[in-house]
Amino acid sequence: MFTFLKAIFQSKTLLWSLTKNEFKQRYVGNFLGMLWAFIQPAAMIGIFWFVFQVGFKSKPVDNFPFILWLVAGMFPWFYFAEALSMGTNAILSNAFLVKKVVFRVSLLPIIPILSALAIHIFFIFFMFAMFIYYGYRPEIYWIQLPYYVIASSILLLGLSWLTSSIVVFFKDMGQFVAIVIQFGFWLTPIFWSLKMVPEQYHWIIQLNPMVYIIDGYRNSMIYHHWFWEDISMMLYFWTITLLIFIIGGVTFRKLKPHFADVL
């Protein structure tokens, strides 16, 4: 782990350059360019707000405006979905770097994560502005959001190592990840509350580690709970995350020597 962190530090300039290039290439040729990175999530939030609050007239959740409760769950999911989707293709989209002996290939999945993180940070501040606009003053609990950002990033890196290494040999992995993201969105309590589900089934939904992240954002912004207050969920999340991180790292290392032959 220390060696990997050292490699990140030593390659920080290259990683920053590749992240900027990756970010620009995604929107090159579009009239609005990189603004689409922010327009698309904002439009989706607007659609859900209109459908559920205007159309279905959703009531406030736990005495909080529905739109604020919604964005506190959707913004972390946007980050997860975007980073995992791009991270799965990190090796395929940077095939020219895989054959360079001087480049540490295991750093490639970090690039899409950093790209998605830049957008996510913007939306975190946008979320702060929304809460302030609705009359909620900043709370000390907001400072724990970086913990959940780091936690989700570590989970994403482990998953990206796993999926990006497998997709080189099994192209269907990309489609499988897309399906998992789509189903995960509806099965994760993002625009619906866990309280709507009978309590005996809560544990099934909470097997999804992203439930911990989304609950963490809402605990920080709405319910004002510290991350260490639910020690059982914290231990479960980190056990699963570190397991995925290790499995992803081992799988990547085992398959890496064969990347150049396939690509």
Do residues 120 and 206 touch, judged by C-beta distance below 8 A? no
Residue 125 within any structural domain of the chain = yes
Residue 4 within any structural domain of the chain = no
Tell me the per-residue pLDDT of 210-253, one tens digit each, with 9 for 90 and over: 999 999 999 999 999 999 998 999 999 999 999 999 999 999 98
pLDDT of amino acid 80: 96
Per the structure, the complete domain to which residue 83 belongs is given by 14-262
Domain count, the chain: 1
Residue 6 within any structural domain of the chain = no
Residue 9 within any structural domain of the chain = no
Residue 1 within any structural domain of the chain = no
Q: Which has the higher per-residue pLDDT, 49 or 80?
A: 80
Tell me the per-residue pLDDT of 154-185, one tens digit each, with 9 for 90 and over: 999 999 999 999 999 988 898 999 999 999 99
Q: Give pTM, 2 decimals.
A: 0.88
Residue 3 within any structural domain of the chain = no
Residue 142 within any structural domain of the chain = yes
